[in-house]
Amino acid sequence: MKIVVVDYGMGNVKSVISAIRYLGFEDVILSNDSSILASADKLILPGVGNYAMAVKKIHELDLHSIIRELVLCKKIPILGICLGMQLIGRSSTEDGFHEGLALIDAKVEAFNSKGIKIPHVGYNQVEPVLNSRLYSGINTELDYYFTHSFRMQSEADICASRCVYGENFIASFEKNHIAGVQFHPELSQHNGLKLIRNFIEKF
């Protein structure tokens, strides 16, 4: 099982990698080399920070078409985390309008509720839909760590869990071999470690 964490220079990837190793998957590598990405059994797209800057870096590193080909044609499973999840969607309105990887039909916009503190920071409960693979075997109230000001919306039937913060938004999605989580499983104690293991084993 070879797991490749996509390196495009945004955010803390150290904890993602140490979480995967902690779970006993030793063959994990951080890379932006197209041949290494092509050899992956699973891809993880991490990311923290600004959407526009992330899109720019993905294009600069020629990763846009490679990731699309690996995921859409070769059907390599991918898990997007936080900004990585948002990048899997079509677009975001953070700092203008920017197009993402468009692996699924979803758009990213700012929270529009009044009277909530922004960013949404901290552990919040998520409510999984029936038969979600990501949450399989996790038997608690499902607290996960969030830190974001934008969230995903979609007309498509992809939602795997919802979270409430001023409004109801998509906390995670699953569509065949493509998954994304708005929260940080690598910063969510055992709830998160189990979710990462579920992605590796069930996708």
Partner 1 sequence: MLRNRLIFGLIYNEGCFMQSRNFRLQRVGDINWLEKNYKFQKISFSMDELLVVDATRKEKNIDKFSETISRLVEDVFIPVTAGGGIRSIDDAEKLFNSGADKVLLNTPLYENEMLAKQIIARYGAQSLIASVDYKIIEHEPIVYIKDGTVSVPVAMEDYLKRLERLGVGEILFNSIEKDGTGFGYDIPNITKYANSVNVPFIILGGAGNGAHLNDGLNVEGVSGVATANLFNFIGNGLPKAREFMLNEGANLARWDNADF
Closest CA to 103 of 129, 126, 84: 84
Q: Say how many CA atoms lie within 13 Å of 33 toward its Cβ.
A: 6
Residue 190 is among the residues annotated as catalytic for this protein:
no
Contacting partner 1 within 26-65 (CB under 8 A):
48-50, 53
Is residue 110 near partner 1 by the rule CB under 8 A?
no
- Least Å from the CB of residue 107 to partner 1: 19
Q: Which among 33, 22, 19, 23 has a CA at the least distance from the CA of 4?
A: 33
Query: Which of 76, 146 has the CB closer to partner 1?
Result: 146
Cis upstream peptide for 119 (omega within 30°): yes
Is 186 annotated as catalytic? yes
CB 17 within 8 A of CB 30: yes
Q: How far is the CB of 43 from partner 1 (least distance, A)?
A: 21
Concerning whether 82 is annotated as a catalytic residue, the answer is: yes
- Minimum Å gap between C-beta 76 and partner 1 is 26
- Separation of alpha carbons 176 and 164, rounded Å: 25
Task: Summarize the chain as % helix, strand, coil (round to 5).
Answer: 30, 30, 40
Among 19, 44, 45, 67, binds partner 1 (CB under 8 A): 19
Read off the amino acid at residue 68. R
Phi then psi dihedrals of residue 60, to 5 deg? -60, -35
Q: Specify the residue, 76 or 161, whose C-beta has the smaller distance to partner 1.
A: 161
Instruction: Find the binder of partner 1 among 38, 119, 156, 167 (CB under 8 A).
Output: 119
Q: Which of 30, 162, 193, 202 binds partner 1 (CB under 8 A)?
A: 193
Of 15-23, 35-43, 65-73, 174-182, the window that binds partner 1 (rule: CB under 8 A) is 15-23
Positions in 150-189 near partner 1 (CB under 8 A): 164-165, 184, 186-189
> So which residues are the catalytic ones?
82, 184, 186
